[in-house]
Amino acid sequence: MSTDQDRQFFDTFMLVLGILVAVAVAIYFLAQGMSARTQLAFIQEDPRVQARVDERIASMVRVAVAGEDNSHLPAPGPAPTAQAAAAAAPAAATADLTADQVYAAACAACHAAGVAGAPILGDQAAWSARIAQGMDTLATHAIDGYQGEAGYMPAKGGRSDLSDEQVRAAVQYMVEQAQ
Ligand code: HEC
C-alpha cells in the first residue's frame, strides 16, 4: 500500500463518517420537531394537565368589597374537582352551613392570610385585644362592617346572603381558634 492509497482510504472514511453524523443530527431534530407538534400538543390538551395548570395559576384570594358583586371573579384556591363541585351545594344550601364552613366560604379569603390587615385565624396576639371587646361587639363589627386601624372589615365579609346568626357563629368559631 502506498501513502497515496492510505490517504484516499482515509478521505473516504472521514467522508462516510461525516455523512453518518450529519444524518444522526438531522434525525434528532426531525424527531424533536415531530414530538413538539404531536406528543407535546397532545399532552397539553389533556384535561388533567390543564386542571393542574389552572390549579397553579388560581388566585389565592377573592376580594370582597362591600356593595360590589364579586361572584364573577374566579373562586379562590384550586379549581374544584367534579366531586367537590357536586358537594359544594348551590346558594339555597348556605342556610345550613356550619360555622367553619361559613368561615371557609366567606371569611377565609381575608382572615386565612391576613389580607388587607385582617387578623389571621388562630393568631392569638392579633385576636386577644379584639376578643377583650366582647362577643357582641365582635359580632356587630362582623355583621355591620367596621373600619378599624388595621383595615376595613366589610359587612358580613361581603356576603349579604348570610344570616346574622351565621356570621355570629363564624365569629364564635374564629374566637375559639384564637384561644
Ligand atoms: C375583605 C376582607 C375580609 C373578609 C372577607 C372578612 N373580613 Fe373580617 N376583617 C377584615 C379586616 C381588614 C379586619 C380588621 C379591621 C380592623 O380592626 O382594622 C377584620 C376584622 C374582623 C373582626 C374583628 C373585629 C374587631 O372588632 O376587632 C372579626 C370578628 C371579623 N373580621 C370577622 C369576620 C367574619 C366572621 C367574616 C366572614 C363572614 C369576615 N370577617 C370576613 C377583613 C375581612
Amino acid at 75: A
Domain that holds residue 92: 62-177
Residue 57 lies in a domain: no
- Label residue 72 exposed, middle or buried (CB < 10 Å: 0-12, 13-18, 19+): exposed
Tell me the pLDDT tens digit for each residue of 14-53: 999 999 999 999 999 999 999 888 888 888 888 999 999 9
Name the DSSP class of 159: -
Residue 100 lies in a domain: yes
Domains in the chain: how many in total? 2
Number of the ligand 1 atom closest to the C-alpha atom of 115:
2
- For residue 115, the CA-to-ligand 1 centroid distance in Å is 10
Alpha helices in 38-163 (DSSP H): 39-45, 47-57, 82-87, 99-102, 108-111, 124-132, 135-144
Say if ligand 1 is within 6 A of residue 173 CB. no
Q: How confident is the model over 42-81, as pLDDT tens digits?
A: 888 889 999 999 989 987 777 777 777 777 666 665 555 5
Residue 65 near residue 154 (C-beta atoms within 8 A): yes
- Give whole-number Cα distances, 4 to 7, 11, 28, in Å: 5, 11, 36
| Nearest residue to 157 (alpha-carbon basis) of 76, 92, 103, 99 | 103
Are 156 and 87 members of one domain? yes
